Amino acid sequence: MSSTPRPLVAGNWKMNGLSASISEIETIAQHYDAGLRAKVELAICPPATLLSRAAPIVAGAEIRLGGQDCHAKANGAHTGDISAEMLADAGAAYVIVGHSERRCDHGESDALVRAKAEAGLRAGLAPIVCVGETRAERDAGRASEIVERQLDGSLPQDVAPERLVVAYEPVWAIGTGLTPTLQDVAQMHAAIRARLVTLFGAGAGATRILYGGSVKPANAGELLRIANVDGALIGGASLTAKDFLAIAEIYR
């Protein structure tokens, strides 16, 4: 397997953030010094309405921006949707696809998630493809099987492994304050890595596998030190610069 990639800490603001929230991005940019940059990459996925406002602020700080979803098509009659090309044009480098809130609230299938991931690549964005089991699936002992099926169905088929990011986010851990045991995280991330190697070959060591679901400054230290955890996708705790930076600082 190739050398371990620089970890990625990505903030998913979801449907939160108005103009005033730009100050949080300014604070993050001010504190992201060369020492921290060398250890960890930061990305912020604000609502699409703030992307072009955030772009000039993060440019000098080398913080990446991301969209939270995209349409599979580049343009056309799709009222209310945003294409990957539009996200890239507004300053994004990443796009989250297949988040469980999209899979559940909008009925997104693995095939659609794959099409969106491929749209991201087409537009020059690195897709962050989310997978994760529900509580019922974990209780039934089906977590690994579900995640493997999501990986097989949702990952883009033709991708350089270093351009791909996978986020393991157990649905029951998102926004609940609950997290899996460290052993369960280790086991799932090892299984995801093995699946990536099967799909993409030895170069799959370059794909970052993020953990997501109730990551906070208080638990980030132990979660981020687990083997095959190459960073985090953070919802609630990414909304304030203070908590987001405290999580990133684990890597310093």
Task: Catalog residues that contact ligand PGA under the rule CB under 6 A.
Answer: 12, 169, 174-175, 212-215, 233-237
Phi-psi region of 187 (alpha: psi -120 to 50; beta: other; left: phi over 0): alpha
Out of 85, 108, 169, 189, pick the active-site residue: 169
Distance in Å, CB of 1 to ligand PGA, minimum:
26
Q: Measured between alpha carbons, how far is 161 from 165 in angstroms, rounded to an integer?
A: 8
Q: Is 99 a catalytic residue?
A: yes
The nearest distance, CB 38 to ligand PGA, in angstroms, is 25
Taking the least distance from each CB to ligand PGA, the nearer of 194 and 218 is 218
The per-residue DSSP string of 84-135 comes to HHHHHHHT-SEEEES-HHHHHHT---HHHHHHHHHHHHHTTPEEEEEE---H
Residue 145 a catalytic site member: no
Q: Hey, which residues does 233 pair with through a beta bridge?
A: 10, 212
Q: Which of 99, 101, 108, 189 is catalytic?
A: 99
CB 216, min distance to ligand PGA, A = 8
Distance of CA 125 to the CA centre of its chain: 12
Identify the H or E element spanning 232: strand 231-234
For residues 151 and 167, which CB has a smaller minimum distance to ligand PGA in the complex? 167
Closer residue to ligand PGA in complex, CB, 118/243: 243
Residues annotated as part of the active site: 99, 169
